[in-house]
Amino acid sequence: MPGGRRIVGDMSDIGEQAKPPFAVLPDPSALFLSRAERLAQLARSGHKLGPYLDFLARLASAQHDIVATLPPLSLPSADVIARAQQNGMPPIARGTLEPDGAMLAAVEQIAARLRQTPLPATTAAAVDALVEALPSGGRELVSGALKDLPADDMAQRVLILAGLQVHFTRLAAMLDAEALTLVANAACPSCGSPPVASSVVGWPKAYNTRYCTCGLCGTMWNVIRVMCVLCGSTDGVSFRGIEDQPDTVKAETCETCRGYVKIVYQVNDVALEPLSDDVASVGLDMLLAEEGWKRGSQNPFLLGY
């Protein structure tokens, strides 16, 4: 392997908790601030991706700043949500919601906020291009991001998804967590997006249990510890990390579907944050790709992996 590194196998202790909550909704006032702090910490650690992590820290700070400035939102009607859940669909499914003024406002404000932030020339140019494109093509750009259509401009897509993260996090926070149910493997029960990663948490009422975290709306949902998040198989599941690296981020690989989703061990280090540490551990993705494993999670800031 490049750099003398290799992937090593490991099986983790399986935690037990009688009835952990199935879903935990995001707190928009805290989520992006915590993420910004973790990204900044990683950027200062001498990480090889330091400049990119620093940019993402600035982006998460911008997300935090605009949360309080956006107008109030409304969920779909109770009847629409009830019908969705009766048909096994998430109540704010990203694939069915049409771009509206609130979505566009979140994207516009992210771009405007970043314009006030010192950025590398190429990044600043991407922000300027998005600002110019939004008045005439904003709905089409947002629709493409919601439906995961191929993007002509990847940097622009990242910025749009950053705005949509704020919008969907605010929507998800308004849902009834107790009414949410599993809709499909690797699908957020709130919006239907894939997870960014899973976490083994140390919460008092769910100690040593695992939750997936949505890469779009931030909802967390409980999943079995030794089961493939992607296909549900319990056979051929193993946990792999990089030799000589901290034992806090691993990949759950599945022989059945040949896919993987990372696990972040917050129970061992409360500073870990699924989206941030997924980006910081991209070296693990590169090594797994060389072995033929397919990444099954979705991180707006790792498009292409």
The reported pLDDT for the residue numbered 205 is 83
281 or 246, which is more confident: 281
Supply the CATH classification number for the domain 2-22+179-295: 3.90.1670.10
Q: What 3-state class would DSSP assign to 295? A: strand
- Mean pLDDT across 65-84: 94
Residue closest to 156 by CA, chosen among 132, 192, 135, 188: 132
CB 73 within 8 A of CB 171: yes
Q: What 3-state class would DSSP assign to 141? A: helix
Q: What 3-state class would DSSP assign to 72? A: coil
Per-domain residue ranges of the chain: 2-22+179-295, 27-174
Can you tell me which residue has the tokens 């699908």?
187
The pLDDT of residue 10 is above 70: no
Q: How confident is the model at residue 18 (pLDDT cuts 50, 70, 90)?
A: low
The reported pLDDT for the residue numbered 244 is 77
What is the pTM (predicted TM-score) of this model?
0.92
What CA–CA distance (Å, rounded) separates 77 from 62?
Answer: 30
pLDDT tens figures, 100-140:
999 999 999 999 999 999 999 999 999 999 999 999 999 99
Give the number of residues written for the chain.
305
CB 35 within 8 A of CB 273: yes
The reported pLDDT for the residue numbered 100 is 95
What CA–CA distance (Å, rounded) separates 154 from 172?
Answer: 26
The pLDDT of residue 4 is above 70: no
The reported pLDDT for the residue numbered 300 is 96
The reported pLDDT for the residue numbered 245 is 78
Q: Which CATH number fits domain 27-174: 2.70.180.20, 3.90.1670.10, 3.40.50.720, 3.40.640.10?
A: 3.90.1670.10
Least confident of 8-17, 43-52, 188-197, 244-253: 8-17
User: For the chain, give me the number of helices (H) and strands (E)?
Assistant: 8, 9
Q: Do 27-174 and 2-22+179-295 fall under one CATH topology?
A: yes
Report the chain's mean pLDDT, rounded to a whole number.
92
CB 229 within 8 A of CB 214: no
Q: Which amino acid is at 177?
A: A
pLDDT tens figures, 252-271:
999 999 999 999 999 999 99
The reported pLDDT for the residue numbered 19 is 83
